[in-house]
Amino acid sequence: MDFLTLFSIYVVVVLTCIGLVCKYSGQQQTPFGRLFNTFTQVASPWIPQCVQNLSHRTLHRLFHQRNSFFVYLHLILEAAVYAEYSYEVFGFCLEMDTTTVNASVPYVLLALKSYIFYLCCSRDPGTLTKKNHAAQLKVYQYDEQLFQEGTVCPTCQFVKPARSKHCRVCNRCVQRFDHHCIWVNNCIGAQNTRYFLLYLLSVCAMAGDMAVLTADMLFHVTLRSGLMHARYIDEQGRQQPSGLLFVVQHLFLTFPRIVFMLGFLVFVFFLLAGYSMFHCYLALVNQTSNEWFKRKGHSCQHCHPDSGHHSHTSYNPVQGFYHKGILRNLREVFWPSCPTRKKDS
């Protein structure tokens, strides 16, 4: 099996996994989610019904019932990457004159990320209970656009505070609900959004730093081997100068695990970098991803004079109802109010 075939299979598998995560984690409106929906519609006539039913039940159990599968998958992938980095890349980096301090940075980032990951998984996101319900009703005003006063959660039988939402996976109402993250097996809400942001940034830093170190190592290997100035004999027996594709194929055949690891790291970095930028933007304008998606269907409702909703605070269609300025928005994300700590008078 040649390099291009292996690479094509690798790309197809990666895109399929992204599509599955987007479709079954509530992100159907992403480009990957829409692409996967189109593919399944085209392929469904050729897939037996029993296979479709089985896959649907399995995927529903994975993505719509609380479980630790993706937490373990996350840890397994992380262990595989660090094992390869420690086994091959770290030693090569030292041989290529990379300092020990620079080569050890990924381990420092791993320790930092692991602590943040634990907090993100274990900390309560802001669950609505009988004890804190009255206090949480006073934290945010109702905008009467996305959140109407007096709305009752049919499951919890509570009047829903503004910005809260019932999570079907965890079966609880969460204060300032953002989304349910399958990778941490927890809701992201008022009390752990800061940990989620730091988690995303730390994973991006890990992937980016390891990718740079690995790419630098392969670059120096290429320079020292003289591949860029080498020639090869083609099928017609003529000498041809080695190009970029030839160098990549040679590196793939010589360091297959390292090249696949580098491709995975680059993919993770760019995927999470975009996702991190989106959540940083939401933090700067004091929105949640739940509000961002819901606002698409309500963006013009506040403009209708006969809508019957008149809020005393202006509604900014770009920044949202809860925008208070960048510094106050960030303060609310990183130092959220905790009404459960207030004592009854």
Say if CB 278 and CB 14 are below 8 A apart. Answer: no
What burial letters (b/e) apply to 174-211, b meaning 16+ CB within 10 Å?
bbbbbbbbbbbbbbbbbbbbbbbbbbbbbbbbbbbbbb
- Known catalytic residue at 17: no
Q: Which of 22, 167, 181, 187 is catalytic?
A: 181
Tell me which H or E stretch contains 284: helix 256-284
CA–centroid distance for 303 within its chain = 34
Q: Let me know the angle formed at the C-alpha of 262 by 15 and 109, rounded to the nearest 5 degrees.
A: 105
What are the backbone dihedrals phi and psi of residue 152, each rounded to the nearest 5 degrees, phi first? -105, 135
Q: What residues contact residue 54 under an 8 Å CB cut-off, 6+ apart? A: none
What are the backbone dihedrals phi and psi of residue 179, each rounded to the nearest 5 degrees, phi first? -170, 170
Say if CB 170 and CB 64 are below 8 A apart. Answer: no
Residue 145 is given by DSSP the state: S
Helix pair angle (100-122, 69-84), 10° resolution: 170
What are the backbone dihedrals phi and psi of residue 173, each rounded to the nearest 5 degrees, phi first? -90, 140
128: Cα within 13 Å, side-chain hemisphere: 29
Q: Among all residues, which ones are annotated catalytic? A: 181
